[in-house]
Amino acid sequence: MPKITDPIKINSMELPHRLVIAPNGKGYAYNDGTPSERLIENYRYEAEGALGGLIQMGITWFKLEGSCFGGFLSLQDERMIHEQGRLVNTIHLAGAKCAPQMFHAGAISVPGTDQAPPPVSSEERPCFFEGLETTHALTDEEAEQATIEYAKAALRGKEAGYDAVNMHMCHGSLVTQFYSRGLNNRKDRWGERKKEWGDNPLLFPIETLRRTREMVGPDFPIIVRVSGDELLGPEEGFTIDDMCQYIAPALVDAGADCLDISGGRLLRQSFWCIGPPVYFPHGCLLDLAKKIKKCVNVPVIAVGKLMEPKLCRSVIEKGWADLVAVCRPMMADTDFIKKTILGKDKEVRKCLSCNMCMAVEEKAGGLRCAANPAYGRELTWLPLRKTEEPKNIMVVGGGPAGCEFAITAHQRGHKVTLYEKSDKLGGAVHVGSAVPRVPTRDLVHIVQWHKREVERLGVPVFFETEVTEEIVEKEKPDIVVCATGGLDKVPDVPGVGLPHVLTNVDCLQRIPDVGQRVVVVGGHEGAEAAVSLARYGKQVTIVEETNEIGKPSYCHDFARQMKLQEFILDEKLEHPIDVVINAKVVEITEDAVKLQVGKKEQIVEADTVVLALGRREDDALAKILWAKMPGMVHRIGDCREVRSIGHATEQGAYLGRQL
């Protein structure tokens, strides 16, 4: 039986174990694709945690028109051989191996600069990101040249000292735009369909691999990343059957030494595969790798929420794949691989599947991690410095913000005491991670981590202690850190005080013990509660003031929002959810909610009404204390501004380093 600790070879590259880092574009490089010191230091930590294993770098562009956002590595010209060599040297010094990911965006291009030539694709088509230009369809000669450009960039990678290359032939990028049937209707040789390819137009990937092999030589490892299934059906994309029967064997014949199995296509409903959100089970893409492994004779890499060391080991032991790739688990804990290999499972800080790292709006300035706020900030944040002036600090609130602060400040040598009014640490995460019949459980990993660290480090905690002005006066701390969280907003509408009117948080804690006919006021914050209620057979009406639903303020994750909207519109529910948009609540009565919808009045009958209009800062104590001890009171997390777990932990981690 193979084991995760067994060495393996990919062509001439020997790896000491079966765990590799999945490609991830971090956005820390300079806009011309040069690695920054920040990026190099970040990779140094990952390289040490990879324990001699392989790091697959994020998308690495080589043509300006094929780049996507700013801040990604480039192998666009000879200059980059030297620039990337500095990064490669650091990774090698730490004992790991590395492979750039050859990427051309084609129609998913979002050039990091307006100097870029127009985007290109297999055909003339609108760019996948709305509002951008139409692509230029590559001519026969240009298509051939494009395959040569991939190969030249791979050679530059080899010359920079990389140990292998990963060819990005997945997620809808340029190569996929040629070989996905739904995206290529060309009539020339680049659109040719042959019987042995099962009607998939495969010339472009085959030529790309053939030329790459020619340039890098027979021994240099070429890993090919594919979407095992685009999950768009056989008309719009290719399926796992196409992949197993035709595409994967053809890629291996053309020179692939290893297949790395992801899934889906960017900006389509299968987008979730690129960073499976919290609603998806662990190992959600495993079936694709298992099936492909049965039809090729090269090593196969599995990926996708393999965040439990135990599951990683089973994948190898059961022979489902030859290697396991981890992306977000290594962001949440850059020692994930090391701890898994050493069997230190309990010490892993687990990913929350919250996808703060994926969020485009969070990406300005590079990706950030909710579980590991120091990720990408290693240069300035790590290692922690001991304080020269230890202070007596009182932390009010044991949610993610208060815990992260307390752990950091305690480690720096401050005398920290944590006060929590309930009987446990975790704050609002206990509600958000336990939505009945809506799987959000991964979020609780942050609570488990904080609890473990608070206990391990011996940070003193007073539970069931609601801090008041009097307690602070008695304790006389040097500094108070208020991390008291938020409260559900209650609108000023007649009837909100009636007994059958609940806040979102109250409702989530009571489901299913509420009335049969439920009106949920707030189609964003109330979306998960509405789905949960409907899954218990309740008759649910969502009332929403705007014209859209399913975008809770704490959720940074586009793929999760798409899925949540799908859950809401699920026709198979016993009672499909009614949605009334552009509607304002005028009054709540004992058995109904009166609405103003445009100019009309509408009445919806209700046994229970849920107020889910978002949350506001619970900052009353902070304001009182500030008046007494100005400058010595700090606010972090939802108590400063209601946002999300990631914002709470990063504010706690920052303040813990500042004081």
Binding-residue pattern over the window 617 to 646 for ligand SF4, x denoting contact by CB under 6 A: -----------------------------x
Integer Cα distance of 262 and 171 in angstroms: 8
Which of ligand SF4, ligand FAD, ligand FMN, none binds 369 (CB below 5-8 Å, type-dependent)? ligand SF4
Using the Cα atoms of residue 315, residue 318, residue 320 and residue 323 in order, give the sign of their dihedral: positive
Nearer to ligand FAD, 324 or 501 (CB): 501
DSSP state at residue 200: -
Asked if 352 is part of the footprint of ligand SF4 (rule: CB under 6 A), the reply reads yes
Judged by CB under 6 A, the stretch of 211-219, 274-282, 546-554, 584-592 that binds ligand FMN is 274-282
Name residue, tokens 């062509």: 11
Residue 404 Cβ vs ligand SF4, minimum distance, rounded to whole Å: 13
Nearer to ligand SF4, 358 or 606 (CB): 358
Integer Cα distance of 505 and 503 in angstroms: 6
> Which residue among 122, 200, 353, 561 contacts ligand SF4 (CB under 6 A)?
353
Residue 470 Cβ vs ligand FAD, minimum distance, rounded to whole Å: 12
Asked if 369 is part of the footprint of ligand SF4 (rule: CB under 6 A), the reply reads yes
> Which residue among 97, 181, 291, 328 contacts ligand FMN (CB under 6 A)?
328
Nearest Cα neighbor of 327 from 26, 22, 20 is 22
Residue 436 Cβ vs ligand FAD, minimum distance, rounded to whole Å: 12
Judged by CB under 6 A, the stretch of 41-49, 323-331, 397-405, 437-445 that binds ligand FMN is 323-331
Q: Go through 508-518 and write b for each residue having 16 or more CB atoms within 10 A of its CB, e for each that does not.
A: beebeebbebb
526 residue type, one letter: G
Nearer to ligand FAD, 374 or 527 (CB): 527
Binding-site size for ligand SF4 (CB under 6 A) equals 14
Integer Cα distance of 80 and 379 in angstroms: 22
DSSP string, 52-118: T-EEEEEEEESSGGG-EESS--B--STHHHHHHHHHHHHHHHTT-EEEEEEE--GGG-EESSTTSPP
Nearer to ligand SF4, 265 or 556 (CB): 556
DSSP state at residue 265: B
Which of ligand FMN, ligand FAD, ligand SF4, none binds 274 (CB below 5-8 Å, type-dependent)? ligand FMN
Taking CA atoms, 441 is separated from 224, 262, 565, 577, in Å, by 33, 23, 19, 23
Taking CA atoms, 545 is separated from 505, 520, 554, 595, in Å, by 20, 12, 18, 10
> Which residue among 305, 414, 563, 657 contacts ligand FMN (CB under 6 A)?
305
Integer Cα distance of 153 and 80 in angstroms: 10
> Which residue among 16, 23, 111, 277 contacts ligand FMN (CB under 6 A)?
23
CB 403 within 8 A of CB 373: no
Residue 98 Cβ vs ligand SF4, minimum distance, rounded to whole Å: 20
Nearer to ligand FMN, 337 or 454 (CB): 337
User: 2: Cβ–Cβ under 8 A, 6 or more apart, which residues?
Assistant: 18, 316, 317, 319, 322
Nearer to ligand SF4, 200 or 353 (CB): 353
Residue 513 Cβ vs ligand FAD, minimum distance, rounded to whole Å: 17
Identify the three-state secondary structure at position 551: coil
Footprint of ligand SF4 (CB under 6 A): 328, 331-332, 351-357, 369-371, 646
Footprint of ligand FMN (CB under 6 A): 22-25, 58-59, 101, 168, 170, 225, 262, 274-276, 303-306, 326-329, 357-358, 367
